[in-house]
Structure 1
Amino acid sequence: MSATAAGHETGHQPAAPGAAGEARTTADFWFDPLCPWAWMTSRWMLEVEKLRPVDVRWHVMSLAVLNENKLDTLPASYADFLRDAWGPVRVVIAAQQEHGDQVLGPLYTALGTRFHNQALPRTRETLVAALEEAGLPASLADYADSDAYDTELRASHKEGIDKVGQDVGTPVIAVPGPDGEEIAFFGPVVTPAPRGEQAARLWDGTLAVASVPGFYEIKRTRTAGPVFD
C-alpha cells in the first residue's frame, strides 16, 4: 500500500535446499499487518522460500507512522483507516519486543489471514485469536491502545523506509545487490500472490534488477485490487 492509497500458511516455511555449498540469501521484509498489498507480497515470499535457498527476515513498519503528518490532506476514509492502523502494528511490535524476532512471521500470518482472507474486523477479539494461534499471550492485545513500544516501532519503521525513501510505502523488501550490499525496493506489488515456478521467476527477476547499479523503478497503473486466496 502506497503512502497515499489504501490459503493460510505458517509464518515461516523451511527454505528450499540449494545445491551443496550454495549460499543462502536473506530477504528483509518490512510490513504493516493491515496493508493488503504487503500481505500479497509476503505470501509470495513464503512461496519463494519453498523454491529457492532464501530466508525471509520480517520487520515492522507502519502506515500510521508514515502518514501521521498527512492526515489532513488524505481522503477521509483513508485517514480513518490510518487512525485504526495503530492498534495492530503496536501489538506486533510488542510481541517482537517481549518474545523475540521469531514470532513476527507466525503472528503476521495469523493476523493477515484474519484481516485479509477472512475480512474480520480489527477488534480485540480478532487480535486475541491471532495471538493465541501464534502461541502468544492474549494480554499482548492490551498494547493496541498503548504507546509503550512506539519508540521501537518508529525505529523499525525508519530502518525500512530509510532504505527506499519517504515517497513509497509498504511492503519494503531488501535483497543482496552487487558486491553483496543490500538493495531495497518498494514492492513488488502483485495480485494474486504468484505460486510455483511463476513465484520463483519473479524472485529471480528481483535479484536481477537489484544487481544493476542505478536501477530504481518499474511501474504501471494498477487495474485490479488484491485477490486473496
Structure 2
Amino acid sequence: MTTKQPVTMYFDATCPFAWVTSRWLKEVEKVREIELNFAPMSLFILNDGREGLSEGYERAMTAARGPALVAAALHTESPELVDPYYTVLGTKIHSEGNSHKQDPHGYDELIKETLAEIGAKAELFDVAHKDADAEGSVMKQLQDSHDHAISLVGDDVGTPVVQLGERAFFGPVLTRIPEGETAGELFDASVTLGGYPHFFELKRSRTEDPKPEFA
C-alpha cells in the first residue's frame, strides 16, 4: 500500500494568493498520492497592530475576520467540512467577483450560503462576529491554529503556509493554477526544496496579480 504524503495548507479564505495555491494543491491531489488538509490562519491576526497599513487594507483585514472565525469553528467541530467550506466560499469570493470586501459584514451572506451548501449547521455563522471573550467565541482556536502555522515558518510571512511532512514554508506564491502533470512536477520540486534542511528562500519580483484561472 502506498503511503500518502501528508500536506497541510494554512489559509485565509479572502487571500487571493492562498486561493491560487490551494487550487494548485487540489490539482496535485489528482496526480500525486497526497493527504491534503486545510487549517485556518488569519490575515486579521497577522496584521493586527501592524503600522503603515492603508485605511482600505485595514478595513479589508477586519472583513476577513468573519470567514476565518467560521473556518476555525468548522476546524474544531467538523474538520472534514473545512475543505468544502474553503472550496465553496473561495469560489464565491475569488471566481465570482466577491473579493476585496471592506465592510465588517461584507462576507456574511456568502458565509451563510456556503454553510447551507456544504450541509453545515447554520448556527456556525454566529461565531463570525463574536468578540474573543464572548461565550461561544472560537477566537482562541483561530489564534492557536494561526500561531502554529507561524511557528512552522517564522514571523516574516503571509498566507498561505504549506506544510509538507515535517517541514513548512510560505507559499509557493503562484499567480495561475497549474494543471495535471505540471501541477505534480511543481509539487515534486517543492517537496525536494522544502525537504532540504538548509533551504530557506527562492524569490523574484512579481509582475502580475493572482488570477483564479488555469495556466
- Asked whether the two chains share a fold, i.e. TM above 0.5, the reply is yes
How far has the Cα of 1:77 moved from its partner? 1.5
The amino acid that maps onto 1:88 is P
Q: Does 1:172 align with 2:151?
A: no
Query: 2 CA distance for matches of 1:223 and 1:124?
Result: 33
- What are the equivalent positions in structure 2 for 1:11-160 lying under 5 Å apart? 21-70=1-50, 72-98=51-77, 100-120=78-98, 122-147=106-131, 148-160=137-149
| CA offset digits 1:108-145 (Å, max 9, x no partner) | 11110011101226332211111111111222222111
SS of 2:86's partner is: helix
Query: 2 CA distance for matches of 1:123 and 1:32?
Result: 13
User: Partner of 2:171 in structure 1?
Assistant: 187
Q: Report sequence identity in percent.
A: 39
Gaps of 5+ in 1: 1-20, 177-181
Query: 2 CA distance for matches of 1:160 and 1:30?
Result: 7
Query: 2 CA distance for matches of 1:110 and 1:81?
Result: 20
Query: 1 CA distance for matches of 2:181 and 2:139?
Result: 40
Conserved? CA contact 2:5–2:35, under 8 Å: yes
Query: 2 CA distance for matches of 1:106 and 1:197?
Result: 24
How far has the Cα of 1:85 moved from its partner? 1.2
Query: 2 CA distance for matches of 1:86 and 1:124?
Result: 11
Conserved? CA contact 2:66–2:107, under 8 Å: no
Q: What root-mean-square deviation, in Å, do the aligned CA atoms of Structure 1 and Structure 2 show?
A: 1.2
Query: 2 CA distance for matches of 1:32 and 1:119?
Result: 17
Query: 1 CA distance for matches of 2:109 and 2:160?
Result: 26
Shifted more, 33-42 versus 75-84: the winner is 75-84
How far has the Cα of 1:26 moved from its partner? 0.5
TM-score when normalising by structure 1:
0.85
User: Partner of 2:134 in structure 1?
Assistant: none
Query: 2 CA distance for matches of 1:42 and 1:51?
Result: 15
| CA offset digits 1:156-202 (Å, max 9, x no partner) | 000111101111011000113xxxxx111000011211111110110
| CA offset digits 1:34-68 (Å, max 9, x no partner) | 11100000000010011000011211100110110
Query: 2 CA distance for matches of 1:159 and 1:151?
Result: 12
Query: 2 CA distance for matches of 1:140 and 1:128?
Result: 9
Number of aligned residue pairs: give it: 202
Query: 1 CA distance for matches of 2:113 and 2:9?
Result: 24
